[in-house]
Chains A and B, each alone.
Chain A
Amino acid sequence: MNATERSAGATSPGTGTGTDTGTTMIRLRLPTHLRRLAGVDGELRLDVAGPATLGSVLDAVEERHPVLRGAIRDHTTGRRRPYVRFFACEQDLSHEPPGSVLPPAVVRGDEPLLVVGAMAGG
């Protein structure tokens, strides 16, 4: 187990790094469809072990909510689904490799990482 979900508000922003357990608290916002699928409300707060990267955050949320496996990343290839995007700090991180460290403000817990469904069509 490398991730623990906290209830929203359990940890105030700015305490994302340097915990005693060597984990980083990451705020994660999911789109409506995925919140319903996972049965959660609002923003998630995940304790992520090791460097806080796109990949480690997705590993953490899938471990906590297995129903999300295959919904953000393809089961077989592990690739991001084409209409899913990752935004943070007004940057599009969608094309960054999974090992990319998240922006400092996300690592500090000041800003959330956004998983966005690029909704379009009828």
Chain B
Amino acid sequence: MTGVRVLVGTRKGAFVLTADGARRDWRVDGPLFPGWEIYHLAGSPADHDRIYASQSGGWFGQQIQRSDDGGLHWEPVGNEFGYASVPGTHQWYDGTPHPWEFARVWHLEPSVTDPDTVLAGVEDAALFRSVDGGRSWSELSGLREHGSGPYWQPGAGGMCLHTILPDATDPERMLVAISAAGVFRTDDGGKTWQPANRGLVSEGIPDPDAEVGHCVHKLASHPSRPETVYMQKHWDVMRSDDGGRQWYDIGGDLPTDFGFVVDVHAHEPETVFLVPITSDAEHFPPEGRLRVYRSRTGGHEWEPLTAGLPQEHCYVDVLRDAMAVDGLDECGVYFGTTGGQVYGSADSGDSWTPIVRDLPAVLSVEVQTLP
């Protein structure tokens, strides 16, 4: 019987939400790793029993946990993320050089073909890979060393590599995004990288169309159309049709183009979901109304989706890794809030139901579609 498993990372532990294909009745398990910050959990597309979790905290550093039975049991694996070379410096908030220091793993991206291969995006920004199920990690240092690294600056949340977007049709190609450096592209499996920020304009940096320095919040694409990439930037919702070489604005009639999440429908490459947030100064939905916006035209034209979502007195945020879609015939969409709610839609966003309401602040939401 088909079903879904929603993996939720929060400020105080992880939760696993499971349902059958109808997605009406949910089982809630957790907290796993209680008291720890779980920035991200991700299931292997190659083996749905294999799940990786990034467990971290200000007191005891970074752990990577691995489950081989769908989240019932977990094992701590490798937690040593050593930069491959003398790290050097990047820009600090005040513009002075600051040594590169590992802080935490923000995002895990398991391989689509090998359960033991997984990429990790970390703060201070770098990309690591494990080919032994998370037991050891090696940096793909060509990203950090390609030349612009000394000019990267942290965003308010730290200088994090938060998005890893492999090209589903070509294992040599990949995009990553860093706050607040921007998008970078490799065409040779991570050996060499180029900035991919042409067309981005950011008023908060001295040169608005600089090659690097843009606060990109999230990227998303459809596996069948890897050259089409959607972006939620600090401000601006953008699109590229050539794998990030050139971007253009698709904010259109959105009430605000600030936000964090963006995701694409599982079966409709031109259907995109966002949760607009008022502004960089007010991290909550406009007018206290929680609305997902959907475009069925690849951008420009957006419709608010409100059925089942609070339309008054709602002042939560939806963070960059906290939205996901499932692959069932009628696409399910899920997102979590800083108020601890996880909402799900079993009809492509037309209607929403809170799966759970009172978790700790949600940092990430991923979903596995089960056979």
Residues of A that sit less than 8 Å from B by CB: 31-34, 37, 67, 69-72, 74-76, 81-84, 117-119, 121
Asked whether B61 lies within 8 Å of A33 as measured between CB atoms, the reply is no
Q: Given A33-B35, A37-B76, A76–B82 Cβ distance below 8 Å?
A: yes
Q: Does B80 contact A (CB under 8 A)?
A: yes
- How many angstroms between the C-alpha atoms of A91 and B309 in the bound complex? 54
Residues of B within 8 A of A34 (CB): 60
Q: Which of B58, B60, B63, B80 contacts A72 (CB 8 A)?
A: B60
Q: Which of A69, A74, A117 contacts B59 (CB 8 A)?
A: A117
Q: Which of B59, B79, B81, B102 contacts A118 (CB 8 A)?
A: B59
Give the one of A32, A34, A67 with max B CB within 10 A. Answer: A67
Asked whether A74 lies within 8 Å of B61 as measured between CB atoms, the reply is yes
Interface range for B? 10 to 19
**How many inter-chain residue pairs (CB < 8 Å) link A and B?**
45
- How many angstroms between the C-alpha atoms of A33 and B55 in the bound complex? 11
Asked whether B80 lies within 8 Å of A75 as measured between CB atoms, the reply is yes
Contacts A31-B59, A81-B60 supplied; 18 other A-B pairs, CB < 8 Å: A32-B35, A33-B35, A37-B76, A67-B63, A69-B80, A70-B61, A70-B62, A70-B79, A71-B60, A71-B61, A71-B63, A72-B60, A74-B61, A75-B81, A81-B61, A82-B58, A83-B58, A84-B59
Could you tell me the distance in whole angstroms from the C-beta of B305 to the nearest C-beta in chain A?
Answer: 31
Residues of B that sit less than 8 Å from A by CB: 35-36, 57-63, 76, 79-82, 102
Could you show 16 A-B contacts with beta carbons less than 8 Å apart? A32-B35, A33-B36, A33-B57, A33-B60, A34-B60, A37-B76, A67-B76, A67-B79, A70-B61, A70-B79, A71-B63, A74-B61, A75-B81, A81-B60, A82-B58, A117-B59
- How many angstroms between the C-alpha atoms of A83 and B102 in the bound complex? 16
- How many angstroms between the C-alpha atoms of A81 and B63 in the bound complex? 14
Give the one of A70, A117, A119, A121 with max B CB within 10 A. Answer: A70
- How many angstroms between the C-alpha atoms of A17 and B76 in the bound complex? 34
Could you tell me the distance in whole angstroms from the C-beta of A44 to the nearest C-beta in chain B?
Answer: 16
> Residue on B with the closest CB to A122?
B11
- How many angstroms between the C-alpha atoms of A69 and B82 in the bound complex? 13
> Residue on B with the closest CB to A73?
B61
